[in-house]
Chain A
Amino acid sequence: MAAAVIGIRLRSQAHLLAREPWRAVILGLGLVWLLLMLPSLVWGRTALALQPGDIRADALVAVFTLVAVGWVVVPIATSGLDDTLDPARFRSLGVAAGRLMPGLAAGALLTIPAIATSVALAGLATSWAADGVGALAVALAGAVLTVACLVVGARVAAAWTADALSSSRSRLTTLVLAAVGVAALVPAAWQLHAQGLEAFIEVDADTLIHQLGLTPLGAGAAAPLALVAGDPLGVVWRLGMQAAWLALLLGAWRAIVDRALVAPPSIGTGTRRTRDEVLDPRPSLFAPRESAARAVRTRLRRAWRTDPRYLAMLAGAFILPALLGLVAVPGLGLDERWLYVCPLALAASSGWGRHNDVAYDSTAVWMDVTAGSLGPAVMRGRMSAALAWAAPSVAVVALAMLAVTGRWADAPGLLGACAGVMGLTLGISAVASVLVPYRVPAPGQSPFGAEVGSVGAGLLAQLASSAATLALVPLVLAPFILSLVVAPWWGAVALALGVVVGVGGYLGGVRLGGAAYDARAGALLAAVA
């Protein structure tokens, strides 16, 4: 059965590559990247082998932990996970989960990220070779168990996160947990800020890495040191814990597959809404008056509140600003004015993040396309729906940072720069989402699923919108920076320029994006389906 499942995966992939050769190019680039990383890996392995055992073990624990965090965060925040072997596709075949699992597990390992991680961690583990065959064997066993945990853990994390975003009750729970998580980070950020990064590394990082070596995140990496130190029991319990963690993850994945094999294709929420919000919309900020634009805005606002795919994007928009504010600025001991990057980054990620907005309509885009030449109205509705949550969020974060610094004289410049960045990035996204859309999970599918090569297709579109953003955003950032480092009166310039450029960018984007929408109306369905 495992061979059959792997065969399905490989054949599906081959057919997809034959049908759309550009995916083969992306895949080839991925393999080239993998090969280019090999010299770095060899260098890293050699450097590690020259270190004393305790330092080598600490370094490997840190690397294994970072990779583990990446395996959970990256698929959820950006790339998604290859869903060729989505268990739901086996629903009609009547195959038990137990028979499918070996094939699904092997299929999950046959992806470029999994192969790259396996090669990297196993390669680094061989740095224990000089300490004897036993140490090398333990190190490789630890690396293998860690990779298996990462691959299975990513599947479980993506499935659970998708579940967490799928109903209003679970969304509320997720929101509360996220708030608790952020609240827990604040004291750590404050500690980091108070000590400075160097002191933190000297005093706390050692302790932290030691503790991580006692958890499934780093136990596999720490096990060889136990053997070298003459503690075979330490080896056994570390590898045993790693194996037990893998068994737990496999059990959780098995439960997910079990449910996917019997759940109906679409699980409704049974929600009833007596108010027709399209016809009688609630009054709100930035709402366009034109009927078509208003209708589009209303449906997009519903999507932003209830569609897991949009909620995942919403969460993604806040990740970078939160990391900057809670980790980077205090960690690097930067001047408090650097906190202003938080609202600016939020403005940029809110606007730039919409660069594939149209694709999220999936094939439902037919409704807008067949209704007329409504490009400008459709884009105005779409962008104003994003502005409805992004503008207040950026304003709140900007005011919060001003409150932290106490430098209220910086307010005009900061608010102007934020307005400029948001308007420009929304405008660029309005155009990019029509010109270079790429496929995303369809409505009802997991927000974290991805086709082979979709990451590459997304990267190309992201590079295009990023290049435009990087070319234009300095225009509104420069006066604000001058207001902070040269003379405060530049703040007034930043405010005026930011508002003018922001509004101009937004309206220009809507207009250009709308014109492109009408010009490409006959190609959009095929581009996003």
Chain B
Amino acid sequence: MTGAAAPALQLRGLSKRFGATVAVDRLDLDIPAGSFYGVVGPNGAGKTTTLSMATGLLRPDAGSVGVLGINLWSRPAEAKALLGVLPDGLHTFDRLTGAELISYAGRLRGLDRATVRARRDDLLAALDLADAASTLVMDYSAGMTKKIGLACALVHAPRVLVLDEPFEAVDPVSGAAIRHLLAGFVEAGGTVVLSSHVMALVERLCDRVAIVGGGRVLAAGTLDQVRAGASLEERFVAWVGGPQERDLAWLRRS
């Protein structure tokens, strides 16, 4: 399977262990090209580890990753060229300005100066960062850092975007701009894979979803298939288990 017929991401038997902890356990998942795919799961479910292995950041102990039919770990240069990545909770090269960081990402991808310059300015405007273009990224707020990271992921016009918690700390206005941008990306044939804890957001944006728990895929399919007539949150709780009931009476003043 290659090219248009291949899934945007095909994960087969992915496993990763950290000491005694099994973070991802023989995980299989197909993410169709052209989909807006949500990956949800409780804390510690293995979402970030899975996405790290799917983007070349973490070598799996076992299993394979296909990006539009290209094996990521045996042909990394070709596969990574198709991917745009926004990890969560990692540093950026924050002594560059916002504009320079986008340029950096573009030049790393081998784009010529004129193309980088034009796309940099477009992205800064689209993400409402034009006024902060000359500011060092170390002076950015958390939301601005998230947006500049998204701009870096987009600058080389990838075919598949893998975004870990892309809306975290982003204000509502910028969130709307990002949603608009991502929806346009999918409409144009791109694929977006995002992880989030916000079920309402996933229901609103994604046409497909996977629930991950204990390092495995518990449910996957179209949004309607996974919801099965209930809300995504209800299905999520049903799959991963509800909260432990414990009465914190000491928190109540009277």
Contacts and interface: CB of A to CB of B under 8 A. Distances in A.
A271 B56 contact: no
A231 to B, nearest CB: 57
Contact of B134 (A274, A518, A523): A274
Contacts, number: 136
Contacts of B81: 372
Interface string A291-305: 110111011001100
A245 B89 CA distance: 43
A269 interface: yes
B57 A302 contact: no
A367 interface: yes
Give the interface size bracket for B toward A: 35 or more
Nearest to B156: A371
Give the interface size bracket for A toward B: 35 or more
Given A272-B135, A373-B76, A295 B103 contact: yes
Which secondary structure characterizes the binding site on chain A?
Answer: helix
B166 to A, nearest CB: 15
Contacts of A522: 53, 56-60, 73
Given A363-B91, A522-B57, A273 B136 contact: yes
Contact of A268 (B76, B91, B138): B138
Residue with the greatest number of chain B CB neighbours at <10 A, chosen from A266, A268, A294: A268
B179 interface: no
Interface in B84-113: 85, 87, 89-97, 99-100, 103-105, 107-113
Given A278-B96, A366-B90, A367-B93, A295 B108 contact: yes
B216 interface: no
B95 A307 contact: yes
B80 interface: yes
Residue with the greatest number of chain B CB neighbours at <10 A, chosen from A273, A302, A372, A373: A372
Nearest to B132: A272
Contacts of A270: 139
A266 B138 contact: yes
B136 A269 contact: yes
A284 interface: no
Interface string B39-66: 0000000000000110111111000000
B8 interface: no
A279 B116 contact: yes
A443 interface: yes
Residue with the greatest number of chain A CB neighbours at <10 A, chosen from B60, B81, B87, B96: B96
Contacts of B97: 272-273, 276
A220 B85 CA distance: 59
Contact of A369 (B19, B57, B112): B57
B139 A268 contact: yes
B232 interface: no
A23 B177 CA distance: 47
A268 B59 CA distance: 35
B83 interface: yes
Contact of B95 (A276, A306, A371, A442): A306
Interface of B: 19, 52-53, 55-60, 73, 76-77, 80-81, 83, 85, 87, 89-97, 99-100, 103-105, 107-113, 116-117, 120, 134-136, 138-139, 152
10 closest cross-chain pairs (CB), A and B: A522-B59, A268-B139, A295-B107, A363-B90, A364-B91, A371-B108, A373-B77, A278-B103, A279-B103, A272-B134
27 contacts: A19-B19, A269-B139, A271-B139, A276-B97, A276-B103, A278-B100, A279-B103, A291-B112, A292-B108, A298-B100, A299-B93, A302-B95, A302-B96, A303-B95, A366-B57, A366-B85, A367-B93, A367-B108, A369-B56, A369-B57, A373-B76, A443-B94, A522-B53, A522-B60, A522-B73, A525-B52, A525-B57
